[in-house]
Amino acid sequence: MSMTMQRDYDPKRGRWIPWVFVGGMALVVAVNALLVWFALSTFTGVTVPRAYERGRGYDQVLTEAARQDALGWRGDITLEAGVLRLAMQDAAQQPLHGRVEGVMLRPLEGVEVPLGFAATGHGRFAARMEPLRAGQWEARLTFFDEAGTAFDLRKRFILP
Protein backbone atom coordinates (compact mmCIF):
# COMPACT_ATOMS: atom_id res chain seq x y z
CA MET A 1 0.00 0.00 0.00
CA SER A 2 1.57 3.21 -1.00
CA MET A 3 0.59 6.23 0.61
CA THR A 4 1.12 9.42 -1.27
CA MET A 5 1.16 12.54 0.62
CA GLN A 6 -0.17 15.35 -1.26
CA ARG A 7 -0.01 18.81 0.06
CA ASP A 8 -2.70 21.21 -0.67
CA TYR A 9 -1.61 24.03 -2.95
CA ASP A 10 -1.80 27.39 -1.20
CA PRO A 11 -1.46 30.34 -3.64
CA LYS A 12 -0.85 32.79 -0.76
CA ARG A 13 2.16 30.87 0.51
CA GLY A 14 4.79 32.20 -1.94
CA ARG A 15 3.48 35.72 -2.54
CA TRP A 16 6.30 37.33 -0.53
CA ILE A 17 9.08 35.97 -2.75
CA PRO A 18 8.75 38.57 -5.59
CA TRP A 19 8.66 41.34 -2.96
CA VAL A 20 12.10 40.25 -1.71
CA PHE A 21 13.53 41.02 -5.17
CA VAL A 22 11.65 44.32 -5.36
CA GLY A 23 12.87 45.29 -1.87
CA GLY A 24 16.46 44.32 -2.73
CA MET A 25 16.43 46.47 -5.86
CA ALA A 26 14.84 49.36 -3.95
CA LEU A 27 17.65 49.12 -1.38
CA VAL A 28 20.30 49.21 -4.14
CA VAL A 29 18.65 52.27 -5.75
CA ALA A 30 18.36 54.05 -2.37
CA VAL A 31 22.03 53.43 -1.48
CA ASN A 32 23.17 54.58 -4.94
CA ALA A 33 21.03 57.73 -4.67
CA LEU A 34 22.60 58.47 -1.28
CA LEU A 35 26.12 58.03 -2.69
CA VAL A 36 25.33 60.31 -5.64
CA TRP A 37 23.99 62.97 -3.25
CA PHE A 38 27.18 62.79 -1.13
CA ALA A 39 29.35 62.97 -4.26
CA LEU A 40 27.59 66.09 -5.53
CA SER A 41 27.21 67.94 -2.22
CA THR A 42 30.70 67.55 -0.73
CA PHE A 43 34.13 68.99 -1.60
CA THR A 44 34.81 68.76 -5.33
CA GLY A 45 38.58 68.51 -5.02
CA VAL A 46 39.03 71.62 -7.18
CA THR A 47 40.45 74.51 -5.18
CA VAL A 48 40.95 76.94 -8.05
CA PRO A 49 38.47 78.08 -10.66
CA ARG A 50 39.19 77.24 -14.28
CA ALA A 51 41.76 74.60 -13.30
CA TYR A 52 42.23 73.32 -16.86
CA GLU A 53 43.09 76.75 -18.27
CA ARG A 54 45.36 77.41 -15.34
CA GLY A 55 47.13 74.09 -15.92
CA ARG A 56 47.80 75.01 -19.55
CA GLY A 57 49.72 78.07 -18.33
CA TYR A 58 51.99 76.01 -16.08
CA ASP A 59 55.04 76.91 -18.20
CA GLN A 60 54.67 80.48 -16.92
CA VAL A 61 54.66 79.17 -13.34
CA LEU A 62 57.90 77.29 -14.02
CA THR A 63 59.47 80.38 -15.63
CA GLU A 64 58.53 82.51 -12.61
CA ALA A 65 59.94 79.88 -10.22
CA ALA A 66 63.22 79.84 -12.17
CA ARG A 67 63.38 83.66 -12.02
CA GLN A 68 62.91 83.60 -8.25
CA ASP A 69 65.51 80.85 -7.81
CA ALA A 70 68.01 82.88 -9.83
CA LEU A 71 67.62 85.79 -7.39
CA GLY A 72 68.91 83.62 -4.55
CA TRP A 73 66.72 85.42 -2.03
CA ARG A 74 65.48 83.68 1.09
CA GLY A 75 62.52 84.51 3.28
CA ASP A 76 61.80 83.01 6.69
CA ILE A 77 58.17 83.22 7.85
CA THR A 78 57.22 82.62 11.48
CA LEU A 79 53.99 82.99 13.42
CA GLU A 80 54.24 83.75 17.13
CA ALA A 81 51.56 85.09 19.49
CA GLY A 82 49.38 86.56 16.74
CA VAL A 83 52.27 88.23 14.90
CA LEU A 84 53.40 87.01 11.49
CA ARG A 85 57.07 87.82 10.93
CA LEU A 86 59.15 87.76 7.76
CA ALA A 87 62.94 88.01 7.53
CA MET A 88 64.33 88.56 3.99
CA GLN A 89 67.93 87.96 2.88
CA ASP A 90 69.65 88.19 -0.47
CA ALA A 91 72.04 85.59 -1.94
CA ALA A 92 74.92 87.04 0.13
CA GLN A 93 72.90 86.65 3.39
CA GLN A 94 72.44 90.42 3.61
CA PRO A 95 69.07 91.85 4.69
CA LEU A 96 66.74 93.01 1.95
CA HIS A 97 64.76 96.22 2.30
CA GLY A 98 61.42 96.94 0.68
CA ARG A 99 57.77 96.26 1.42
CA VAL A 100 55.53 93.22 1.93
CA GLU A 101 51.94 92.55 0.92
CA GLY A 102 49.99 89.44 1.75
CA VAL A 103 47.08 87.51 3.19
CA MET A 104 46.42 84.56 5.45
CA LEU A 105 44.34 82.10 3.43
CA ARG A 106 42.23 79.18 4.64
CA PRO A 107 42.81 76.93 1.59
CA LEU A 108 39.66 74.79 1.52
CA GLU A 109 37.22 77.58 2.28
CA GLY A 110 38.96 80.36 0.38
CA VAL A 111 38.72 82.74 3.35
CA GLU A 112 41.36 85.49 3.14
CA VAL A 113 42.50 87.70 6.00
CA PRO A 114 44.49 90.73 4.72
CA LEU A 115 47.78 91.48 6.46
CA GLY A 116 49.32 94.90 7.04
CA PHE A 117 53.10 94.60 7.30
CA ALA A 118 55.45 97.13 8.86
CA ALA A 119 59.22 97.12 8.49
CA THR A 120 60.98 96.45 11.80
CA GLY A 121 64.53 96.95 10.48
CA HIS A 122 67.34 94.85 8.97
CA GLY A 123 65.15 93.11 6.38
CA ARG A 124 62.50 92.16 8.91
CA PHE A 125 58.77 92.79 8.70
CA ALA A 126 55.84 92.08 11.04
CA ALA A 127 52.06 91.99 10.76
CA ARG A 128 49.68 91.75 13.73
CA MET A 129 46.65 89.53 13.21
CA GLU A 130 43.38 89.00 14.99
CA PRO A 131 43.08 85.46 16.38
CA LEU A 132 42.29 83.00 13.60
CA ARG A 133 40.10 79.90 13.80
CA ALA A 134 41.85 76.63 14.53
CA GLY A 135 42.95 74.64 11.51
CA GLN A 136 45.13 75.00 8.45
CA TRP A 137 46.09 78.45 7.17
CA GLU A 138 48.54 79.54 4.50
CA ALA A 139 50.56 82.75 4.52
CA ARG A 140 50.73 84.05 0.93
CA LEU A 141 53.16 86.94 0.82
CA THR A 142 54.82 89.01 -1.88
CA PHE A 143 58.00 90.90 -1.05
CA PHE A 144 58.99 93.87 -3.24
CA ASP A 145 62.53 95.20 -3.00
CA GLU A 146 63.35 98.88 -3.44
CA ALA A 147 63.62 98.40 -7.22
CA GLY A 148 60.17 96.77 -7.37
CA THR A 149 61.36 93.18 -7.97
CA ALA A 150 58.71 90.79 -6.65
CA PHE A 151 59.38 87.61 -4.67
CA ASP A 152 56.49 85.29 -3.71
CA LEU A 153 56.52 83.36 -0.43
CA ARG A 154 54.12 80.78 0.97
CA LYS A 155 54.05 78.85 4.21
CA ARG A 156 51.33 76.70 5.80
CA PHE A 157 50.49 76.78 9.47
CA ILE A 158 48.30 74.49 11.57
CA LEU A 159 46.69 76.58 14.30
CA PRO A 160 45.47 74.91 17.49
Q: Cα separation of 97 and 132, whole Å? A: 28
Residue 11 has pLDDT above 80, yes or no: no
Please state, in angstroms and rounded to a whole number, the distance separating the CA atoms of residues 139 and 159: 12
Higher pLDDT, 22 or 10: 22
Out of 2.40.50.460, 3.50.50.60, 3.40.50.970, 2.60.40.1220, the CATH code matching 73-159 is 2.60.40.1220
For strand 98-106 and strand 135-145, is the pairing parallel, antiparallel, or unpaired? antiparallel
Average pLDDT over residues 9-23: 84
Q: Residue 140 — very low, low, confident or very high, per pLDDT cuts 50/70/90?
A: very high
- The Cα 101–Cα 119 span in angstroms is 11
Per residue in 30-46, pLDDT (tens digit) is: 999 999 999 888 877 76
The predicted-structure confidence for 53-98, as pLDDT tens digits, reads as follows: 888 888 998 999 999 999 999 999 999 888 999 999 999 999 999 9
What average pLDDT does this structure show over 105-126? 90
116 touches 127 (CB < 8 A) = yes
- The residue ranges of every structural domain in the chain are 73-159
